[in-house]
Structure 1
Amino acid sequence: MKRFTTAVVLALLASLLTAAPARAAGTATVLDRFGRTINGYGVQLVDWEGYLANPYIELTVRPPTDVPFPVTIDLKAEGTSRLMMDLPSQLTATGATKRLTFANSSEQKTFKLAIHSKRAAGQDELHTLRLSVRADNNTTYTQTMPIRVQQDQKTAIEPTIPINFDYRYDNITGYFTNPAFRTAAEEGVKDWYRFFNLQPFDTVAVGAETNHLPGNDWQNSINVTNNAAYNGMWVYFRGIQTPYSTGYPANNGRYHTRNGQQLPGPIHRSTAMIFEYDEAGKQLFTSLADEDWYRTEIAGSVLDVHGLVMHEYGHAIAYHSDWAGMRNFVSTGGVNDAEVTAYQGRAVALDSSYHIPATSPYWDRLSGQSGGWNHLFPTRRWMLTKLALLVAENAGWPLNRNLTPFLTPSIVTTSLPNAPTGQAYQHKLTAKGGVPFYDWRVTGGALPAGLTLDRFTGTLSGTPSTAGTYAFTVELRDYDSQSAPVTRTFQFTVGNGNGSGNLALNASPSCSFTSSWESCAAINTGGDPASSNTGAPNQGNRWGTWPQQGQQWAELTWPSAQTISRSQVYFFADGDGVGLPASWRLQFWNGSAYVDVPGATGYPTVANQYNTVTFPPVSTTRLRVLLQSVPNLSTGLLEVKAFS
């Protein structure tokens, strides 16, 4: 048996103690859909425009492996009542709670996290996800991570056309005489128009637009008309006692013109919202306070005025057989709307009452919400969904595609600032669209040594050590599993492009023709000319081809293959027989012949500066500058640089 001295044992223990710190005992691991462990970074949620159900984030929990099982993990999303988790879960005044149970360490379970929209415009938010792990021996471990909420609605959005509310006929119940009731109802109507891209219509004259309103039991209807001229929409509100609430348009569509021109439609310019409330034991809930919305989850105790009006007015604005476009959508089973099918992943056929079906396959795919009482999340206020708006577009209302819910993912950053050699560098790539819990990855080329890309934030940081120009491709994925990844290729310079980064310094130059008083060796000295007319005859600091004209070339040859993606060329022009070329291009040796570099960004011909061209990386032992002189002039170069 091998024996260890006390000193060796102590050394071994010391090495274990100084190794990378292990995960704390009783720590659960939380992963996102990209397989990233988010324990350190946390979660990114988005609050879309403030009037629309927000997308959720699905996460996977793995229990700790170093505690006795079974294990329970209590999740608490805390900081605002607007936080929620998928059922079974609870909404509370301070957040959402949910319990997961694990029989053994090999189990893993998912949960979904979202935030209810905030109507009031505001800044980004920071909340907390708390995990309380309880082992079989009743030992409890607690861990937390941040919940970041991106508020897309920094300023409130309002309908772009005027909406006239008419309360003259609320003379049965008088519901709308209550100011809070009236405000909640109006907001329910406006929420639809906030997402439409509209301009005012031609003015409807007083008394020109007719409609009808029912009495109790939808009997004794009366004919009504507008008592003022208007160029937006006219909305009648009336309360009745029985048997149901709904909305509908005036079935004429005569006044959908703008500047005298008929618009696609017909678009009905008069609508009605009928509110019925006769349920014993229910309290009318009129609050629009963001932190009060969780109270609508208490089943059977409240009737939410805003949510009910928003839902029922949907029949007036779109979900009704009087809208020709919606009739066509229903008659075809929704299969003709490719955008709806692409978004939801299936055709969406409305039921006979012009509702999106309330079953789970037809809940909005990103938010898990529907237009009824059943949702992926605890029941609460009815809200608009992206799916509902995409379907509503069939009625003739154009959506405002500039609003964030309708933007596809894209990388906003187009270029990167240069990085000094040996100095700390940091620059954040930015993106927009999709569901912005983004994943950033380098999928082509390579970052300069010393730099890394943060997958969560898109931040490029570190201390680059080697000068040169680098090309790499970044891929962006958003949290919508049906989104296609997007990429962008960046050219990134470390240092100023001189020094060791200039591959031309290690090449041997050769030229097609050289004037006896000029030098081909001048093209790769590494110097930076002061102007295109720098240098003098017989000093070896410029290459010229006088009196030769037409096509000329200068090339660089390396003893081994180089990867090149960028070149800089400084032209010689003395105004006395040698001028800027008419055109030029770069070619590389492919092993048997010279061919043009692929995907070149362009070939400028500017005096007194470097002319830069970038292209996808090529591997070659020879690079050639091919020049075509202008008539009656020769051409030449002062310097050629090449970078990886």
Structure 2
Amino acid sequence: MKRAITPAVLVLLAASLLLVATPAQAVGSATVVDRFGRTVNDYGVKLVDWEGYLANPYIELTVRPPASGPFPVTIDLKAEGTSRLMMDLPSQLTATGATKQLTFANASEQKTFKLAIHSKRAPGADELYTLRLNIRAADNSTLVQTMPIRVQQDQKTALEPTIPINFDYRYDTITGYFNNAPFRTAAEEAVKDWFRFFDLQPFDTVAAGAESNHLPGNDWQNTINVTNNVAYNGMYVFFRGIQTPYSTGYPAANGRYATRNGQQLPGPIHRSTAQIFEYDEAGKQLFTSLADEDWYKTEIAGSVLDVHGLVMHEYGHAVAYHSDWAGMRNYVNTQGANDQEVIAYQGRTVPLDSSYHIPGTQPYWDRLSGQSGGWTHLFPTRRWMLTKLALLVAENAGWPLNRNLTPFLAPSIVSTSLPNAPAGQAYQQTLTAKGGVPFYDWRVTGGALPAGLSLDRFTGTISGTPNTAGTYSFTVELRDYDSASTPVTRTFQLTVGGGGPNPTPTPTATSSPNPNPGNLATQATASCSFTSSWESCAAINTGGDPASSNIGAPNQGNRWGTWPNQGEQWAELTWSSAQSVRQAQVYFFDDNQGIDLPASWRLQYWNGSSYVDVPGASGYPVAANQYNTVNFSAVNTTRLRVVLQSAPSFSVGLLEVKAYS
């Protein structure tokens, strides 16, 4: 029997059809906030790649969901554009970037995530990627938001050890691992990664056959004594593969330590080491790739054993983390209580266990990168990376760190002055800084900018149109993204009106009028071929004016010198984007001792594939106690290099380099 459809039923059916047909309302946008309380939706975020050979610092961001639901709201994060991008666990690494999911129960809930990038071993330019937020509400309405991820690439040229390293494969007779070329390359690079960060000069030469060490057989039986087959003045490394029971490294046990010019060096520093590689893990394949975009593959659990990561870790025992290093024995005996630098960095003492490992628990993960030299990390990476913490602890073995490298630079404001601002005209000047974790926050904390001008918190750019003439004094504060850093400040004076831009310098016998008062060098990153451990490459582009060529004292950070290295040396300026340059001014360092004026010098620029001499150079004067100026045909470049040829038996140095468009 058929039942009649009543009018009430028809109304219910119509309402039901109407609900199905109605499209979902678009969900609102999310807000992303950084640790300074800045909304980064428009500007995006900034990461840094520190020198290319160790774990990089991360940034933490807070996500606030849409103001209205319907809830729950899910936000799928995707840091995309390179496989090197990663987010804190739980998350995934992929060939195109990192993914992570956040779910919000209501509008008042907020959640944090951490974003970082694997090191890029190949030098290169700054990078630009995308952070994508796919937002989905309970009614399946969706919205996609994107913002840029800027990556500052600090490694503009390859960083190499300053001493030669000799590798000896003669005793790899059990497994033959090191006969495989990719395996050998990965292992050598892992060893070099330690020495890339040490500030070393060649030692006295050890004659062939004079340095003795020992190597084990399988199960550490049948130990054999070995010696170096060639003379060397750097470090000597014996490689051997065995089948059981474990990989490790250790220094020479013969007590032959380092001398230079016949003088015993403090340490003591062992001159040879041994690296033992063992591989006995069923179901795993040896992974030897060093390609930047292959790093994420080391996370494939249970399928690969990363040769580079394992050797880097185990060679750490050879080069530092071993009881044969007197300084490390003392560090273990005192539980790290005497190393104030490690305590200041990590915020606590960092003990080593009885096997000379940093504990693998979270309080002892490297504070800025969230990684460790073991299996567990804040991020889903199985590649064991060298960390700043590991290097600071390793210094106890007697290896001095190269403090000119970016991981060890404290934040500082580089800009020292501002050009005048014509009244009623558009004005723009960008303050520059270096050091720390450079997702910087700029603020005026004292005085005031001239009316009409503002300071961009993200970029440090002062811009606008000032209208009221006068001289204004204000203090700028710089904060970097390391929460343990102390903010730094600098007070500036800015004159509005008063005849327009600052006047150009009065010409001298070795200088010519400069049509542009803006010194581009202060906006660049400095790097040098070699730097004495008591000098600073970063001194060359501070924007200051030395009083004379013989200035300062060791360890004051206001001069660059190359003693005892002689011959051709160089210092260069690298900009994040191309600059038009037509003039340079160079102030030489001459201490009337081992550092002298160069015999000759020249300027080169990077043409995109190689360094070439600047065209139409007006000449290269060599004078003490003044700037030496060179004019040349304008070049558009990201790098400008000062190449110095030392006089016989002398080294060279610089106090300041300026560059103008």
Interval containing the TM-score (normalised by the shorter chain): 0.7 to 0.9
**Which position in structure 2 is the counterpart of 1:163?**
165
Q: State yes or no: 1:154 paired with 2:159.
A: no
CA distance in 2, matches of 1:143, 1:296: 30
> What is the alpha-carbon distance in structure 2 between the residues aligned to residue 25 and residue 68 of structure 1?
8
- Counterpart CA distance in 2 for 1:331 and 1:192 is 24
Q: Deviations over 1:238-280 (max 9, x none)?
A: 0000110000000234231001111111100010000001111
Q: Is the 8 A contact 2:127 2:150 kept in 1?
A: yes
Counterpart CA distance in 2 for 1:253 and 1:269 is 9
Write out aligned runs for 1:198-237 (5 A): 198-237=200-239
- Structure 2 residue corresponding to 1:388, chosen from 390, 397, 400: 390
1:564-579 aligned at under 5 Å gives the runs none
Q: Give the secondary-structure state (helix, strand or coil) at the position aligned to 1:126.
A: strand
Structure-2 separation of matches of 1:222 and 1:95: 48
**Contact 2:213–2:254 (CA under 8 A) maintained in structure 1:** no
One-letter amino acid of the structure 2 residue matched with residue 206 of structure 1:
A
Are the counterparts in 1 of residues 422 and 499 from structure 2 also a CA contact under 8 Å?
no
Is the contact between residue 202 and residue 255 of structure 1 (CA under 8 Å) also seen in structure 2? no
The TM-score, its normalising length taken from structure 2, stands at 0.71
Partner of 2:399: 397
2:393 and 2:205 map into 1 onto residues whose CA distance is 28
Q: What is aligned with 1:495?
A: 497
Distance in 1 (alpha carbons) for counterparts of 2:28 and 2:239:
58
- The aligned amino acid for 2:122 is A
- Provide the rounded CA distance (Å) in 1 between the counterparts of 2:340 and 2:132: 41
The residue aligned with 2:66 is: 64
Distance 2:140 2:354 in 1: 54
Q: Does 1:85 pair with 2:91?
A: no
Partner residue of 2:361?
359
How far 1:27 sits from its partner (Å)?
A: 0.4
Structure 2: distance between partners of 1:369 and 1:444: 38
Letter of the structure 2 residue corresponding to residue 199 of structure 1: Q
Contact 1:204–1:255 (8 Å) recurs in 2: no
The CA deviation at 1:216 is 0.2
Q: 2:300 aligns with which of 298, 301, 325?
A: 298
Q: Which residue of the other structure, out of 66, 72, 75, is the alignment partner of 1:73?
A: 75
Counterpart amino acid of 1:357? P
| Pairing 1:517-596 to 2, within 5 Å after superposition | none
Equivalent position amino acid for 2:432 in 1: T
Q: Is 142-151 or 64-73 further displaced after alignment?
A: 64-73
**1:66 shift after superposition:** 2.3
Separation (CA, whole Å) in 1 of partners of 2:446 and 2:106? 40
Q: What is the one-letter code of the residue matched to 1:482?
A: A
Alpha-carbon distance between aligned partners in 2 of 1:153 and 1:493, rounded to the nearest angstrom: 37
Cα distance in 2 for residues equivalent to 1:170 and 1:259: 34
Tell whether the 8 Å contact from 2:70 to 2:138 is kept in structure 1 after alignment: yes
- Distance (whole Å) between structure 2 residues aligned to residue 292 and residue 284 of structure 1: 14
Q: Which amino acid aligns with 2:462?
A: L
The residue number in structure 1 matching 2:136 is 134
Deviates more, 1:73-82 or 1:253-262: 253-262
Question: What secondary structure sits across from 2:295 in the alignment?
Answer: helix
Distance 1:455 1:476 in 2: 9
Distance 1:475 1:286 in 2: 46
Normalising by structure 1, we get a TM-score of 0.73
2: distance between equivalents of 1:148 and 1:442?
Answer: 24
Is 2:41 the counterpart of 1:39? yes
Q: For 1:254 and 1:276, how far apart are their aligned partners in 2?
A: 27
Counterpart of 1:99? 101
8 Å contact kept, 1:253–1:269: no
Cα distance in 2 for residues equivalent to 1:84 and 1:308: 21
Partners of 1:373 and 1:422 in 2: CA distance: 61
Contact 2:466 2:496 in 1 (8 A): yes
1:472-491 aligned at under 5 Å gives the runs 472-491=474-493
Question: Which stretches of structure 1, 4 residues or longer, exceed 3 Å deviation after superposition?
Answer: none
Q: 2-side partners of 1:240 and 1:62: how far apart? A: 54
Counterpart of 1:629? Answer: none
| One-letter amino acid of the structure 2 residue matched with residue 474 of structure 1 | V
AA aligned to 2:487 is P
Offset at residue 73 of structure 1 (A): 0.5
- In structure 2, the residue corresponding to 1:316 is in which secondary structure? helix
Cα distance per residue 1:377-413 (max 9 Å; x no partner)? 0032111000000000000000000000000000000
- SS of the residue aligned with 2:194? helix
Q: Tell me the equivalent position of 1:283.
A: 285
How far apart are the structure 2 equivalents of 1:79 and 1:65? 29
Q: Distance in 2 between matches of 1:327 and 1:79?
A: 45
3-state SS, counterpart of residue 385 of structure 2: coil
Structure 2 CA distance for aligned equivalents of residues 252 and 316 of structure 1:
14
Corresponding letter in the other structure for 1:112: K
Deviation at 1:455, TM superposition (A): 0.1
| Offset of residue 187 of structure 1 | 0.2
Distance in 1 between the 2:86 and 2:236 partners?
36
Does residue 454 (structure 1) correspond to residue 470 (structure 2)? The answer is no
SS of 2:187's equivalent in the other structure is helix
AA aligned opposite 1:469: T
* 2:327 match: secondary structure: helix
Decide whether the 8 Å contact of 1:468 with 1:497 is kept in 2.
no
1:166-192 Cα deviation digits (max 9, x unpaired): 000000000000000000000000000
Q: Which residue of 2 aligns with 1:524?
A: none
- Helix, strand or coil: the match of 2:294? helix
SS at match of 2:324: coil
Mapping 1:266-345, distance limit 5 Å: 266-345=268-347
The corresponding residue for 1:246 is 248
TM-superposed CA distance for 1:299, in Å, is 1.1
3-state secondary structure, aligned to 1:473: strand
Counterpart position of 1:114? 116
**Mean Cα deviation higher: 245-254 or 144-153:** 245-254
Distance 1:492 1:25, change over 3 A: farther
Displacement of 1:25 in angstroms is 5.2
Aligned residue-pair number: 475
Partners of 1:223 and 1:493 in 2: how far apart? Answer: 74
Letter aligned with residue 332 of structure 1 = T
Q: Distance in 1 between matches of 2:114 and 2:249?
A: 34
RMSD: 0.9
Deviation for aligned residue 1:497 = 6.5
Query: Which runs of structure 2 are paired with 1:615-630 in the superposition (5 Å)?
Result: none
Given that 2:129 and 2:150 are in contact with CA atoms closer than 8 Å, whether structure 1 keeps it comes out as: yes
* 8 A Cα contact 2:87 2:98, kept in partner: yes
Letter in 2 for 1:178: N
Deviations 1:444-473 (A, max 9, x none): 000000000000000000001111111000
SS at match of 2:185: helix
Deviations 1:25-46 (A, max 9, x none): 5100000000000000000000
Compare CA radii of gyration and give the structure with the larger one. Answer: 1
- 2:376 is aligned, of 341, 351, 374, to 374
> In the alignment, residue 303 of structure 1 is paired with which amino acid?
L
CA distance in 1, matches of 2:139, 2:454: 43
Paired residue secondary structure (2:301): coil
1:272-318 deviations in Å (ceiling 9; x for gaps):
00000111111000000000000000111000000100000000000
Q: Report if aligned partners of 1:467, 1:497 keep a CA contact under 8 Å in 2.
A: no
Matched with 2:647 is none
Counterpart code for 2:109:
E
**CA distance in 1 between partners of 2:256 and 2:55 (Å):** 34
Q: Which amino acid in 2 is paired with 1:189?
A: V
**Distance in 2 (alpha carbons) for counterparts of 1:100 and 1:460:** 37
Indicate which of 48, 57, 72 corresponds to 2:50.
48
Matches of 1:178 and 1:452, distance apart in 2: 60
Residues 308-343 of structure 1, C-alpha deviation per residue, up to 9 Å, x if partnerless? 000000000000000000000000000100000000
Q: Distance in 2 between matches of 1:259 and 1:418?
A: 53
Q: Name the amino acid aligned to 1:98.
A: K
Could you tell me which amino acid in structure 2 is paired with residue 122 of structure 1? G
Deviations 1:347-387 (A, max 9, x none): 00001110000000000000000010100000321110000
